[in-house]
Structure 1
């Protein structure tokens, strides 16, 4: 007898987790895609890859936080140049944290994003 609605087995794929984190760096290379590509990977594999749901939520939360920080810091440029410092800090945060968490994902650890607002929990 054949079971039709059997749930798919979760597979461990650390390399896909690493790729999901590193695709956030696309905005530094081609100018866009740092939110769209990880979102597509997360939504398409969150039910089949072990720990993808946790890592995907962390990636999307970081990218949404970075977008919010950039939107806030553009008008803040008029306030004694404070927005320029915020933009520089956001650029550093957006470059370093995906690399750190890609290494953490490769080691089987949970992601840890500094200064990330939990939009998706």
Structure 2
């Protein structure tokens, strides 16, 4: 895979997380993980972040019994938008990026 293609797919995987949650990074990781170190690192990073957000959404849903859960869900939603856009821009520029506040499930 050419470096331009690696940047394109890495960018699309990060943006896919905005619209499809963990499914886009999971599919991207399963299909593209052997296509190069850059795209593998970005797909794994995006998948880890989306799985961490999924946990945050579940915890927020459980905590919505009390009011604080709504704030947890809102904070996770805003962080998803901001960090996915930053990661997509960095991937498009060819930079390595790691999401903050992420649990590493996949390396």
Tell me, what secondary structure is at the counterpart of 1:51? helix
> For residues 95-118 of structure 1, what are the alpha-carbon distances to aligned partners after superposition, in whole Å with 9 as ceiling and x for unaligned?
111110001101111122121111
Structure-1 separation of matches of 2:29 and 2:2: 14
> For residues 43-78 of structure 1, what are the alpha-carbon distances to aligned partners after superposition, in whole Å with 9 as ceiling and x for unaligned?
212212441111011111011111101111112123
Count of residues paired in the alignment: 105
Choose from 10, 13, 25 the match for 1:38.
Answer: 25
RMSD: 1.5
Q: Structure 2, unaligned stretches of length 5 or more?
A: none
Q: Structure 1, unaligned stretches of length 5 or more?
A: 1-9, 27-32
Q: Which has the higher relative contact order, 1 or 2, with Cα contacts under 8 A spaced 6 or more apart? A: 2
Structure 1 stretches (4+) deviating beyond 2 angstroms? Answer: none
Deviating more after overlay: 110-119 vs 86-95: 110-119
Asked if 1 retains the 8 angstrom alpha-carbon contact of 2:91 and 2:97, the reply is yes
Q: Which has the higher helix share?
A: 2
Decide which structure has the larger Cα Rg and report it: 1
Choose from 42, 61, 80 the match for 1:74.
Answer: 61
Structure-1 separation of matches of 2:21 and 2:63: 24
Tell me, what secondary structure is at the counterpart of 2:54? helix
TM-score, scaled relative to structure 2: 0.87
Structure-2 separation of matches of 1:78 and 1:57: 33
1:110 maps to 2:92: no
